[in-house]
Amino acid sequence: MASYLCLSVILIDSEIDNFGVFGLADPNGPMIYKGLYHLFYQYNPKGAVWGNIVWAHSTSEDLVNWTPHEPAIFPSQESDINGCWSGSATILPSGKPVILYTGINPQNQQVQNYAEPKNLSDPFLREWVKLPQNPLMAPTQANQINASSFRDPTTAWLGPDKWWRVIIGSKRNRRGLAILYRSKDFVYWVKAKHPLHSAKGTGMWECPDFFPVSVDGPVGVDSSAIGGKVKHVLKLSFDDTKHDHYTIGTYNFDKDIYIPDKGSVEGYTGLRYDYGKFYASKTFFDDVKNRRILWGWINESSSVNDDIKKGWSGVQAIPRTIWLDKYGKQLIQWPIPEIEKLRLNNVNLSNKLLKAGSKLQISNVQALQADVEVSFKISGFEKAEKLDPSWTNPQMLCSQKGASVKGGLGPFGLHVLASKGLEEYTAVFFRIFKSYDKYVVLMCSDQSRSSLNEDNDKTTYGTFLNVDPVYETISLRTLIDHSIVESFGGKGKACITARVYPTLAIGYGANLYAFNNGNQDVQITSLNAWSMKKAKIY
């Protein structure tokens, strides 16, 4: 049965999709060119595990239905003979797209290479050629770059001085580095004396992303925008933890440095795009619809042996539109509206009381592939548990107080991919705690009972959700697709992606429930659920 997810390299239940059965990883070089969306991605055409890496390539008119093409970039030069790793696309002022990517040379050094389309009149950009000058950027004794930690160039931006700039992830000992290069012609690059930014104790910075966001609303802005109307975001994929963290701050063009805002936490406790399985993400500016779109890689929770057995691994998350919240403190993320064209057979509930200890089946929905939006209203807080000051790790708190652990105000939320007898389910839920003079909302995605297959990773994920339940409803949107559960809390203030492999809750054995395992009633102010039809992968 085909997945509705864009660019899923999978079909569930041992079927094979249009891509075949192979391994997929980091999204690379997303862009829009002559009205077509392009996505490249790390891809192993010879197996389900890491190796033989090339840049696979697919195009779409709507970010939902996709046409795969032959790999765009594959090892062919000395500078990439041992693999073509991640990178980015930049649209030059002439309209020509250019790719910078990391290659591995015969000395196993990480170096940066250039590729451009062979035929600009081809909107599909099916053939790419490399410069004979490659590599354009390489580690040397003089520049003191770690040859094994120098990878993943960002989309470049053009300064008011007409010089291009790009950053490349690196490290020196345990200090993460965003190494800055400049170029006048996009071919000859010079390393800056200092990095754009660095931070001690964070290890290797993979797949950095640096881009502006508007302070005036949800519209996107070009990657070269600077000035008082924008803030800047520096996103880093921490190799040590395999999580994507970001800060919001200011780009000082005169000094070519990035300065995180006061209170924008750097390191492992800082803000994340997603508190589940989501890594090596990349954004691009969609200049047709004036929005910034985020792609991310969802890796596996199954064992390597199971990946080899089923013949595939890795998918891309649903593309998300991202923008700065009205307070300038965090990013908001929401699935692209185009995904809604796959909705079928709306089921609607409103003003439904969810009594303490109860569950409500959401019928007439294909629970294996669904889009669910629900809002909860709390009318009383007298049973909210007290938040212990030591409970500072939300993921650990979600693990200790999972969906089956009765609480005061919560857990309440959704049981998705649930078997009829609840032997298997993935729970996405909230708990509300009392902390001094405010209430704290915990959002969790509990995989502990997601599958009877004990070889799977069943880590429970969680984060604190920045909403005030006294004055706001608590909203949840969950996209369900066979083995993928993408959840958006507080209208996109927090996101958690889970990868689960039920053995009973498959096909017509999958069910969907709203549940309340707390001691206090909660109100479902509205619930809308849709079955989802298949995207077309030609």
Q: Which residues are catalytic?
A: 26
Distance CA 215, CA 226 (A): 12
Distance CA 457, CA 301 (A): 5
3-state class (DSSP) for residue 257: strand
Residues 6+ apart with CB under 8 A from 161: none
At residue 89, what are phi and psi to the nearest 5 degrees? -110, 145
Distance CA 249, CA 262 (A): 8
Secondary structure (H, E, C), 93-107: CCCCEEEEEEEECCC
3-state class (DSSP) for residue 79: helix
Q: Is the separation of the CB atoms in 536 and 65 below 8 Å?
A: yes
| Identity of the residue numbered 140 | T
At residue 491, what are phi and psi to the nearest 5 degrees? 60, 35
Selection from 94, 142, 90, 140 nearest residue 115 by Cα: 90
Selection from 76, 22, 57, 62 nearest residue 127 by Cα: 57
Selection from 243, 241, 246, 278 nearest residue 265 by Cα: 246
Q: β-pairing, 385-386 with 331-335? A: unpaired
Helices and strands, counts by H and E, the chain: 2, 37
Distance CA 431, CA 502 (A): 25
